[in-house]
Amino acid sequence: MTGSGEGAFGGRVAVVTGGSRGMGREVVRALAARGADVVIASRKLGACEALAEEVRREHGVRALAVACNVSSWSDCDRLVEEAYAAFDRVDVLVNNAGLSPLYPSLAEVSEELFDKVIGVNLRGPFRLAAAIGTRMAAGDGGSIVNISSIEADRPGPHALPYAAAKAGLNALTEGFAAGFAPKVRVNTVQPGAFLTDISQAWTEETTERIARGVALGRCGEPEEIVEAVLYFAGPGSSYTTGATLRVDGGWR
């Protein structure tokens, strides 16, 4: 298997959380287009099933849809069991599911909101990486790709629990990279402002303000994250682990 072109992931199995929309959807479609069998996980089973049918039809790959709230430890365990029951292996895990609810002020961040953000952005990726990474290390190896955020390095008051969770995810990347070496590589893609589902809550003024702070003068489109994920997922990054790649348009 070489490169990231068509057929580059043939015979491989990839699990993508938050896989039914936004960045996750584009990653699923790209992996399937390159021959990977895919496990598409998100809270909404119907959306996962629709995408699974699409990639089966368009690319002839196998696809499994799984309803999973990654903040739930038991849901994560069930996702792992269903993936291995269906395919008997996982070669790539993309921890993409994310959540950053709006709140009126820092003092008004509720315990429920805080726990929910930590659960989706940190607890779930930990459990999935621990469970799948352990099996990868005992088998043929594999690659784990965590989707973090530029907020982890440059946190603002508007998304502080999210930033803290993503900073924790960056720490998990390095820890898991050491813990599962040499057979499993663990890396992070660190996006800036992307026009995904999260951005639908932004006002036009917010989007324009963010764009002014980016060297390229705009927010990213979901498909612009794909090549970075494919790089870490595939053999082109065979000597790279514990690394973080910023894909932020030149966030200033």
SS3 state at 34 = coil
Q: Is 105 a catalytic residue?
A: no
Q: List b or e across 181-215, with b for residues whose CB sees 16 or more CB atoms inside 10 angstroms.
A: eeebbbbbbbbbbbbbebbeebeeeeeeebeeebe
Q: What is the pLDDT of residue 208?
A: 72
Helix axes 45-59, 22-33, angle to 10 degrees: 30
Pick the catalytic residue: 71, 143, 162, 237?
162
Give the CA radius of gyration of the chain: 17
Q: Is 148 a catalytic residue?
A: yes
Q: What is the pLDDT of residue 248?
A: 85
**Closest-CA residue to 247 (of 11, 26, 16, 21):** 26
Q: What is the pLDDT of residue 204?
A: 73
Q: What is the pLDDT of residue 202?
A: 62
Q: Is 166 a catalytic residue?
A: yes
Pick the catalytic residue: 4, 42, 143, 148?
148
**Residue 48, burial from CB neighbour count under 10 angstroms (0-12, 13-18, 19+):** buried
Whole-angstrom distance, CA of residue 103 vs CA of residue 82:
36
**Residue 40, burial from CB neighbour count under 10 angstroms (0-12, 13-18, 19+):** buried
> What are the 10-residue block averages of pLDDT along the chain, 252 residues in total?
68 97 94 98 97 98 98 98 98 95 94 97 98 98 96 89 97 98 97 72 68 78 89 97 91 72
13-246 classified as CATH 3.40.50.720:
yes
What's the pTM?
0.92
Pick the catalytic residue: 4, 20, 166, 237?
166
Q: What is the pLDDT of residue 1?
A: 35
What end-to-end distance do the CA atoms of the chain give, in Å? Answer: 37
Q: What is the pLDDT of residue 146?
A: 98
Domains of the chain, residue spans:
13-246
Whole-angstrom distance, CA of residue 44 vs CA of residue 22:
14
